[in-house]
Amino acid sequence: ANLDPADGDLAYELDRAHVFHSWSAQGALKPLVIAGGAGCEVWDYAGTRYLDFSSQLVNTNIGHQHPAVVDAIKKQADILTTIAPATANLARGEAAKRILARAGSHFGKVFFTNGGADANENAIRMARLTTGRDKVLSAYRSYHGNTGAAIVATGDWRRVPNEYSRGHAHFFGPFAYRSDFWSETPEQETERALHHLERVVVSEGAASIAAILLETVPGTAGVLVPPPGYLQGVRELCDKYGIVLIFDEVMCGFGRTGEWFAWQGFGVTPDLITFAKGVNSGYVPIGGVVISESIANAFEDQVFPGGLTYSGHPLAAASVVAALDAMESEGIVENAKSIGAEHLGPGLAALAEKHPLIGEVRGLGVFWALDLVDDPETRQPISAGLMGALKTALVSRGLLPFVADNRIHVVPPCIVTPDEVAKALAIYDEAFTEVESTL
């Protein structure tokens, strides 16, 4: 494409003059200007290319500008760009059918939302209405979205300035590398985290708890792959106390872990699944709740008191259909799995051997985190200044990283190739070498 650097300058000026950004003090922001993208790359108006190992906000699972998805959006735009949710729409029905086919026979219906946060809002609402209880338990190390109940369900710092509503309590999930339970083995971590969770359930009043809401693999909190047996144990607690189990698969779903749904790799089935991001890689905003047959049936006669103007928006639904079909026919989920097992996992482990700043490598599929520490013994997180230096070193070498606290999340699109992984690993290696040389 013809790129004009003057457009880049204009985009930057307009942004700084008029656009209010998420999660930030506005004054010091210097947003990167992106002109276009394809596959695992994006570029600016000067033609500088970046390997996107962030997948933006971990959502471009199919990569940038997949032609089949772009084409489906164009075709649907010619047919019908918008229609009320109360109507029946072909693209919407086809999208729901495809999502349910991947979730399996336990599930009966899909409720579409605009994104991940409102998917969690509505899953919580369904759990409350079907149990007649109001409390929601979720993990401190979690992010569930930036709306009423979703932000109060969130465990990380973003909850605190938004905490107005009642009916939420939190617990510590398993995290062996920084164990809250003094565990020395994954088995101890599972056993003690489950003991703690049951104590919270009982102490909060089991009969008042509608749902346990859990990211199957907590993402923003650090790609915290649950130890063996943990999710089974949570399922058993939910069954024992009549609690609805909601797995938030907004970030970990649709290929990220090398499975269609992350829970399928752990052999535990929830009652409700929330999704967004990877379902259509965010080409048009959409999210939703996959609802178990029995919870869906509860609303056969009872009114569901929830809805959204754009629920099942045709442009978004058409992009879901095309994205899921392309992921299937191109083996994109399988690619994520083998890239993790054969390239990213071993490559990042080798990087950790070489660089003392990397305290732990954890993850699966195309969902990895490097936990960066001052000293491998104390596991003290590295400073924000050092994280900033690493980010600069990566971007200056043409890699877009996902940076959170003291971690780099290595989260490329599910279509990433072995060559792109090798290129990224070389850039991480150089960036660590540069920053470590200053210590």
Half-sphere CA count of 41, side-chain side, radius 13 A: 11
Is 96 an interacting residue with respect to ligand PLP (CB under 6 A)?
no
Is 211 an interacting residue with respect to ligand PLP (CB under 6 A)?
no
Taking residue 132's Cβ as centre, other Cβ atoms within 10 Å add up to 9
**Least distance between ligand PLP and beta carbon 47 (Å):** 30
Is 420 an interacting residue with respect to ligand PLP (CB under 6 A)?
no
Structure tokens that stand for 103 in this block = 């979730």
Is 168 an interacting residue with respect to ligand PLP (CB under 6 A)?
no
Identify the sign of the CA torsion 220, 221, 226, 227: positive
**Packing angle of the helix pair 345-354, 418-436 (nearest 10 deg):** 20
Q: Which helix (H) or strand (E) holds 186?
A: helix 186-204
**Least distance between ligand PLP and beta carbon 427 (Å):** 25
Is 115 an interacting residue with respect to ligand PLP (CB under 6 A)?
yes
Is 212 an interacting residue with respect to ligand PLP (CB under 6 A)?
no
Taking residue 262's Cβ as centre, other Cβ atoms within 10 Å add up to 29
Q: Which of 44, 191, 215, 420 binds ligand PLP (CB under 6 A)?
A: 215
Place of tokens 């790359």: 41
**Least distance between ligand PLP and beta carbon 191 (Å):** 26
Is 316 an interacting residue with respect to ligand PLP (CB under 6 A)?
no
Return the number of the residue (347 or 413) whose C-beta is nearest ligand PLP. 413
Is 251 an interacting residue with respect to ligand PLP (CB under 6 A)?
yes
Applying CB under 6 A, the span of 1-9, 33-41, 113-121, 415-423 interacting with ligand PLP comes to 113-121
Q: Which of 107, 143, 247, 263 binds ligand PLP (CB under 6 A)?
A: 143
Cβ-based burial of 157 (10 A; exposed 0-12, middle 13-18, buried ≥19): exposed
Q: Which of 41, 121, 189, 248 binds ligand PLP (CB under 6 A)?
A: 248
Applying CB under 6 A, the span of 23-31, 112-120, 310-318, 382-390 interacting with ligand PLP comes to 112-120
Alpha helix positions (H), 277-376: 293-298, 314-329, 332-338, 345-354
Instruction: Encode burial over 183-203: b for 16+ CB neighbours within 10 A, e otherwise.
Output: beebebbbbbbbebbbebbee
How many positions of this chain bind ligand PLP (CB under 6 A)? 16
Chain residues binding ligand PLP by CB under 6 A are: 57, 115-117, 120, 143-145, 215, 219-220, 248, 250-251, 276, 287
